[in-house]
Chain A
Amino acid sequence: MKRFSILLASAAALIASPLAAQTTAITGGKVVIGDGSAPIEGGTVLIRGDRVVAAGANVAIPADARRIDATGKWVTPGIFAGFSRIGLVEVGAVSQTNDTDAKGSPFSAALDIQYAINPFASAMSVNRAAGVTRAVVSPGTANSIFGGYGAIVDLGQDENPVTEARAFQFVELGETGHARAGGSRAASHIYFRALLEEARTYARNPAVFDSDLLKASDAKALLPVINGSTKLLIHVESANDILKVLDLRKDFPALDMVLVGVNEGWRVAEHIAAAGVPVLASALSDLPYGFEDLSSTQSNIGRMKDAGVKVAIGMINDRDAHQLRYSVQYAGNLVALNKVPRATGLTWDEAFAAISSVPAEIMDMGGQLGSLKAGRHADVVIWTGDPLELSTQVETVIIDGVDQSLSNRQMRLRDRYTNPAPGALPKAYDH
C-alpha cells in the first residue's frame, strides 16, 4: 500500500487515513510481538500513521490517541503468508481469471507477477478478514524451470497491493523442474546453469546477444539472480534435490537462495543449516505425494528448526491462491505435535513467528514487516482469543495503519441465506 493511493481511494470505505498521522492505542490485550518472544498480558500497541510506534507492557499513550479496548483479546501482527499465489486467481478453473503461469508465453524469467496481482480478487478480502495482511506471491512455471519475478504484497482494500515488486525470482528444481526441463534432473541442472551462463553472455554485450535458449528479456531478468541482488526461491522437495541445489553455490557463489516446499528437509537439515539457506516449508505434508516426498512428516519444520535452519511456513501448491487463512491452523498443528510422542513441533511462540516475523525476515523485510516492533508497518490484528485456535475469530484488521473492512462476498451470501426461504420478495431483492 502506498500513501499516495489512500487519497484516491476515498470511495473504498476507508475508516482511518494514515495521512492524518492519527495515533491509535490498542490497550489491555494479550500482545504478541511476533518475533518469537512470549505474549505480553495487558499490553499496549501504539500506532502512528502507518507504523508501529511501540508495543509491550509499559507504553505511554498520548492524550489524543484513539483508543481501542482489547481487554480479553489477543493483539498480534498480521499474518505473513510465506508463499502464495494470492491475487493471481479468482476462480481456479476459469483460465481467464487465473494468472499463475503462462503456458502460451515466449517469456519465463522476465515475467513479472506485479502486473497480474489483483487487489480486488475475492481471495484478498476473504483472507484479509481472516487476519492475513501480507504475502509472498510467486508465479508458477510453464515452459521453463524459471517462473519469473515474484512480489511481496499487502491484502489491504486499496488499489496498490505491491509492497515490493521483483522481490525474487522463482525456479523449479525438483520433479516439476525435471518435467519443465524435458524429463531429467540432469536436464534441469544443465538448463539452470546454461541459462545463467547465457545471461552472463548477454551482460557482456547485450547489443549482439543471440541465444537459442534465452530471450534477451529473460537473460536480463536473470542477471540480478547471478550476482545475488535478487533472491532466488527454489522449489525442491527431496533430500537429494536439496543437496544438489545447495551445491549450485559452487558455480554461482553469490546466489541468494531460499528453498520452498522442502518436504524431506529434515533428512539433510544440517546441510541446509550449514549453508545458511532459509526455508519456506509446507507445514503438514506427511505423505509420499511423489517419490520426491517419500519421507514427508509433520515434524519436518520442527526438526529443521532444531538443526538451526531458519524456517517459516509457506503453502506451495496447497490452496495457495485462496486459503492463506489456513496459516494459523497449520501453525497450531505444529504446536500440537509437542504432545505427540516422538514428534517434533514448535513452541507456540515459534509457531506464531513462523507465520509473521520469520517469513518477513527470510524475504529481507524483517525490519519493515512481520512484527509489532517499533518502526514496522502497522499491520495489526485483534482476535477473540488464541489466534492459532480453531474457535477464534478475527475482530479487527489494520493494514499500514488503516482500519480494514472485514466484509466480503462470502459474508454477503451468508447474510442473504441465513433464512433460506424467500420472503415477500425473491432473495435477489435482499441486499
Chain B
Amino acid sequence: MKTRALLALAASGSLLAGCAATAANTNSASASSPAKSSKPDTVAFPSTYAAYPSAPTAITGVTIFDGEGGRIDNGTVFIVDGKISLVGGPDTAIPSGATIVDGTGKYVTPGIIDVHSHLGDYPTPSVDAHSDGNEATSPVTPEVWAEHSVWPQDPGFSRAMANGGITALQILPGSANLFGGRSVTLKNVPARTVQAMKFPGAPYGMKMACGENPKRVYGGRNRMPSTRMGSLALERQTWIDAQEYRSKRNDAKPPKRDLGKETLAGVLDGDILVHNHCYRADEMAQIIDMSKEFGYKVTAFHHAVESYKIADILAKEGICSAVWADWWGFKMEAYDAIPENAALLQKASACVIIHSDDENQIQRLNQEAAKALADGRAMGMEISDAQAIQWITYNPAKAMGIEKMTGSLKVGKMADMVLWNGNPLSVYSRPDKVWIDGALMFDSGDAKRRPVSDFELGQPGEGDVK
C-alpha cells in the first residue's frame, strides 16, 4: 500500500497535463443547447445512468441500521423495482414471489457513501498519465468539472464496492486551487462512460480549498496566493466578479457564457453545494464570514481536523464536517488532529461525516467510523452504533444533496444497500452483498458478481478476491 493522499496535495507541479484545453473557446457551437434554459450548464453532459435489473428481494432475520440512527433487530427489508418497499421487525409480512436472503447473524445498512473521493481523477495505477485531479495552472478554476477527468476503468471503484460497500460517491477536484472546480456525484456502478455513472438528479458541488496547499502551489511560483491573506483576497475578488456576472445574467443583453462564473453563480443561486477543504478552526471561521459576505452557504468543511475546536459554531451554522477518524501529522495544518474529533462534533449536535480522500480507506469507511465511535465512547460519550453508521450514509448523502433519494433505508428510496457478514463496526466484518437500485452488483459468494475493470482484464490477479 502506498500513501497517496498527499499526492493530490503536494505534487501538483508535476500534475499538469500539457495538452489540457485551458483556453478552449467557450462561445462555440455548444451554445446551441436548448434556449429555454437560462442555465445551460445544467443540461450539459446529462446522466445516462439506468438501474440494472433487480428482483424483488427480502432480507429476513437481519439487524438493520437504517442510516438515520435507527436500529431494528431481527428485521426484514423488502425491495422491489429498485426501491425500498418495506422495512420492519420480525412480524413484517413478506410478499410472495420475493427472493429470500437469510440475514440471520448479518447486518444490513444503506449503501455506504463517500463525500470525498478522487477515484477516477487520481486512479490507479498512479502513473503520471493518470494524474487528472488538479488543474494546477491557476488558483481559480471554477470552470473545470471533475467528471471530465474521471476514468471509469479505475479499479478502485470495484474495491470500494466489494470491500467497502460504497454505492455512491462524490468525486472532487484536488485542493491545489482556491476554487478547484465542480464535483460530480456517481453511482458506484461500473460503466463505459462517466455519464453512465452520474447520479441522476444529484446537484453539483464546487470544491474550494483554504490553507497550505494553494499558497504553497502558487506562492512557490511567485504567484498569488502566497499567503492565507492572499487566498482570502483572491477568493473575495472572485466572488465580487461572480456577483456581477450573476446580476447581469438576466439582462436583455446577457454577458457571454463564462464557465467559471456559471459555476460560481450556481453557488450563489443555491444550486451548487460548496465543499471546502479546510483543516484549521480559525480558517473555517474566516470562510464562514466570507460566505456570509457573499450570501452563499458552505455545505461541508472537508479534512476538518480542527472542527472539534469550534463544534458549537459549526452546529449553529449547520455546516457538516467531513473528517478522517485519526489522520494527523502529515502537514502543519493537520498537527492538531485528534481521534475524538467526530465524537466531539456529535456531542455538539453538529453534522459528522467520515470521509476517505483515499483509495484504500474508502474500502473501510465502516471501520473508520467504528474507530471514531470507540474513541468517543472511551471518553464517556453515549453514541449508538446506528448513529455512527449515519456518519457514512445519511449524513454524506445530505451533504451531497441526495438524501431524499438514498442514504437511508426508508420506504420509497433507492434500494442502495449492503448486507454485511457481521456488525459493520467490527474489524471482522465485510460486505456479503451489495445492491444498487435493487440490482445485485456484488456477491461475495459469486465470483461473477464482482466487477473487473478493463484495465485488469488479462492481467495477473484478474477477478481475484482482492
Judged by DSSP, the binding face of B is loop
Interface core residue of B3, B10, B360, B428 (most chain A CB under 10 Å)? B428
Q: Are the CB atoms of B422 and A339 closer together than 8 Å?
A: yes
B283-339 residues at the A interface, CB under 8 angstroms:
308-313, 326-332, 335-339
**At the interface, yes or no: B427 with Cβ under 8 Å from chain A?**
yes
Kindly identify which residue among A126, A264, A417 contacts B344, using a CB–CB cutoff of 8 Å: A417
Q: Which of A134-142, A194-202, A328-336 contacts its partner?
A: A328-336
Residue numbers in B under 8 Å from A398 (CB-CB) = none
A318 at the interface (CB under 8 A from B): yes
Task: Name the A residues within 8 Å of B336 (CB-CB).
Answer: 413
Q: Name A408's closest neighbour in chain B (CB-CB).
A: B338
Which chain A residues numbered 272 to 331 have a C-beta less than 8 Å away from chain B?
Answer: 282-291, 293-299, 315, 317-319, 321-323, 325, 329
Do B125 and A91 touch across chains, with their CB atoms under 8 A apart? Answer: no
Q: Which of B33-41, B96-104, B453-461 contacts A (4 or more CB under 8 A)?
A: B453-461
Q: How far is the CA of A43 from the CA of B225 in the complex (A)?
A: 62
A264 x B460 contact (CB < 8 A): yes
Q: With a CB–CB cut-off of 8 A, which chain B residues contact A392?
A: 374
Residues of A close to B155: CB separation below 8 A: 287-288
What is the minimal beta-carbon distance from B354 to any residue of chain A, in angstroms?
A: 13
Asked if A288 meets B367 with Cβ closer than 8 Å, knowing A295-B461, A317-B2, the reply is no
Interface pair B330/A322, CB less than 8 Å apart: yes
* CB pair B465 A299 closer than 8 Å: yes
The answer to whether A426 has its CB under 8 Å from any CB of chain B is no
A123 within 8 A of B: yes
Closest A residue to B311 by CB, please name it. Answer: A420
Whether B425 is near chain A, meaning CB under 8 Å from some CB there, is yes
A289 close to B312 (CB less than 8 A): no
Cβ contacts under 8 Å, B10 to chain A: 93
Interface string of B374-415 (1 = CB under 8 A from A): 100111000000000000000000000000000000000000
* B426 close to A288 (CB less than 8 A): no
- Interface membership of B277, Cβ < 8 A: no
Please tell me if the beta carbons of B460 and A391 are within 8 angstroms of each other in the complex. Answer: no
Q: Are B1 and A318 closer than 8 Å at their CB atoms?
A: yes
Cβ A329 vs Cβ B331 within 8 A: no
Cβ–Cβ contact B332 & A93, under 8 A: yes
Contact A391 B312 (CB under 8 A): no
Binding site for A on B (CB under 8 A): 1-4, 6, 10, 124-127, 155-156, 159, 163, 212, 308-313, 326-332, 335-340, 344, 348, 359-360, 363-364, 367, 370-371, 373-374, 377-379, 421-422, 425-430, 444-445, 447, 455-456, 459-461, 464-466
Is A94 positioned at the interface, with any CB of B under 8 Å from its CB?
Answer: yes
Chain A residues with CB under 8 Å of chain B are 89-94, 122-123, 126, 239, 264, 267, 282-291, 293-299, 315, 317-319, 321-323, 325, 329, 332-333, 335-337, 339-343, 388-393, 410-411, 413-414, 417-418, 420-421
* B364 proximity list for chain A (CB < 8 A): 333
Whether A410 contacts B465 in the complex (CB less than 8 A), given A288-B456, A342-B447, A390-B367, comes out as no
Tell me whether B329 and A91 are in contact (CB under 8 A).
Answer: yes
Q: Would you give the shortest CB distance from B335 to chain A, in whole angstroms? A: 6
Give the distance in Å from the alpha carbon of A336 to the alpha carbon of B370 in the complex: 15
A417 contacts B332, C-beta separation under 8 Å: no
Lowest 3 CB-CB distances: which A-B pairs, in order? A295-B461, A332-B427, A93-B331
Contact A393 B344 (CB under 8 A): no
Q: Is the CB of B374 within 8 A of A291?
A: no
A323 CB contacts on chain B under 8 angstroms: 326-327
Residues in B neighbouring A89, C-beta threshold 8 A: 329
Given the known A-B contacts A297-B465, A341-B444, A410-B339, are A284 and B360 also in contact in the complex, defined by CB atoms under 8 Å? yes
- Contact check, A414 vs B159: say whether CB atoms are below 8 A apart: no
Pick from A122, A239, A411: contact of B329, CB below 8 A: A122
> How far does the alpha carbon of A388 sit from the alpha carbon of B445 in the complex, in Å?
25
For A91, A287, A339, A388, the residue with the greatest tally of chain B CB atoms inside 10 Å of its CB is A287
Known: A91-B331, A410-B338. A282 touches B455 (CB 8 A): no
Which listed residue (A126, A289, A295, A389) contacts B125, Cβ 8 A? A289
Give, as a whole number of angstroms, the nearest-CB distance from A18 to chain B. 29
Min Cβ gap B9→A in Å is 8
Q: Which residue of chain B has its CB nearest to the CB of A90?
A: B329
Q: Is there contact, CB below 8 Å, between A294 and B212?
A: no
Q: Provide a sorted-by-A list of 17 A–B residue pairs whose CB atoms are within 8 angstroms.
A: A94-B332, A286-B466, A288-B124, A289-B4, A289-B125, A290-B125, A294-B125, A295-B461, A297-B466, A299-B465, A323-B326, A333-B367, A336-B430, A337-B430, A339-B422, A340-B421, A417-B344
Asked if residues A336 and B429 are in contact (CB atoms below 8 Å), the reply is: yes
Residues of chain B contacted by A339 (CB below 8 angstroms) = 421-422, 428-430
Partner of B126, one of A90, A289, A418: A289
Given the interface pairs A294-B459, A417-B344, the reply to whether A389 lies near B427 with Cβ below 8 Å is yes
Other A-B pairs beyond A92-B331, A389-B428, A393-B374, 11, CB < 8 Å: A91-B329, A93-B330, A282-B1, A288-B459, A289-B4, A321-B329, A341-B444, A389-B426, A391-B373, A414-B379, A420-B309
Q: Which residue of B lies closest to A315 (CB)?
A: B1
- Measured between beta carbons, the chain B residues less than 8 angstroms from A332 are 427-428
